[in-house]
Structure 1
């Protein structure tokens, strides 16, 4: 025997309403998960925009530096506030023996540079000095600079001279290391000049670069 169950219409409506709310809630959760996140291209664009001012600043700095380096430079003043340099073409050179200018194994002489031009010139520092071989080429070690005397600017009017002390050591002091050879004179380079003056003065020198026969002081004067 079957028992008949009677269901109230109000209960059926309530059940359907509850099921509908559950389905609606599930559908809303799925939609939230599927919402697209910001794309990488949008993030990249923001980064580029932020770095743009820095890039512009760097470019401006580089441009300013280039403009500064391209600006004309003021020439450095001469050693005597604008007086032209005493170069070889304005000078004559001579070696003058000095009374009592000898020492054990060496001789002291004066190297004299005279302004032969028609205008004043100036010089500062040490002349270069080397021996000349018989063929007229430089031989041996060039002169080293003597210490203890400060170099000063010397301005020479036409006919005036500047003088530097020149010490010459005898070749015999170096023995076999010297490789002694006859010399025809001296080659003189004025300070800051690549041109030279030759002085005829026969004697002997050393062909070895290890034998240091010449020592020169700074130019002084005028006289």
Structure 2
């Protein structure tokens, strides 16, 4: 039995042999339309890429601007900004300034040139004398006062202990060690107006009570340094003192105001 599909194929092939089929060409103007369409697509792609690059560059410029100068204005896409740079690059020469240069003053010229005068009483501003203590002495001890008078025309101050030693004369030899400071008394600042007075107390033991180690000798007075001064004055005060080192050197109090005990 013959397959119907085979019969159809034989008839179709015979028809093709009798009829020549020619391929259809493109319609007139088809190539031009295709070319124009391709150009439009390329133009759209290029424009889109350029817009994206411009937006990215604008964002980068804005970030750099904000980093250099702080927050800047918001720019539309594609707009260009020309922010002022904070400093020239290493390959550029800075533009000349339109303002005159400002010179910094040194502290010595900007501050006052008048020196601050110390209020401390100087040795040359004081008259130092010695006198017996109004209260006398105690058993085995003798008290002497050193009186400090301000003979200058200005008010000055005294604070602390005077330096005191026994000497054999105005330029004589020191006898024994310097008088020691009393450590159980707190110094106070004394303000001396012109002709104002203050005093310190020197306590000395009876030299005879320290024999035979004392080796008592005659002394002519005190060598006195006012507090914080390096110049001394001789204060006449004839007396006897132990000459053996460290024996009955005595003590001196801080300077106090006035002549009261």
Q: What's the TM-score bracket when you normalise by the shorter of the two chains?
A: 0.5 to 0.7
8 Å Cα contact 1:151/1:218 also seen in 2: yes
Q: Which is strand-richer, 1 or 2?
A: 1
Alpha-carbon displacement from aligned partner over 1:109-158 (angstroms, at most 9, x marks no partner): 22111111111111110011110115622111111111322101111111
Shift of 1:86: 1.0
1:145 aligns to 2:159 (yes or no): no
Q: Supply the distance in 1 between the matched residues of 2:143 and 2:238 (Cα, whole angstroms).
A: 16
**SS of residue matched to 2:167:** strand
Cα offset, 1:212, TM superposition: 2.7
Task: Show the counterpart of 1:26.
Answer: none
- 2:126 matched residue in structure 1: 91
Q: TM-score by structure 1 length? A: 0.60
How far 1:213 sits from its partner (Å)? 3.1
Normalised to the residue count of structure 2, the TM-score between the two structures is 0.51
Say if 2:204 and 2:248, in contact at 8 Å, map to a contact too.
no
Structure 2 unpaired stretches of 5+ = 1-106, 109-115
Distance 1:207 1:133 in 2: 11
1:177/1:210 contact within 8 Å kept:
no
Judge conservation of contact 1:97–1:108 (CA < 8 Å) in 2.
yes
In structure 1, distance between residues paired with 2:227 and 2:154: 18
Q: Which position in structure 2 is the counterpart of 1:115?
A: 150
- Residue 173 in 1 paired to residue 223 in 2? no
Q: Does 1:220 align with 2:256?
A: yes
- For the residues of structure 1 that align with 2:159 and 2:123, how far apart are their CA atoms? 14
- Work out whether 1:190 is the aligned partner of 2:226: yes
Bigger RCO (CA 8 Å, 6+ sep): 1
TM-align CA RMSD = 2.1
Who is 1:201 aligned against? 237
Could you list the runs of 5+ residues in structure 1 that have no partner in the other structure?
1-70, 73-80
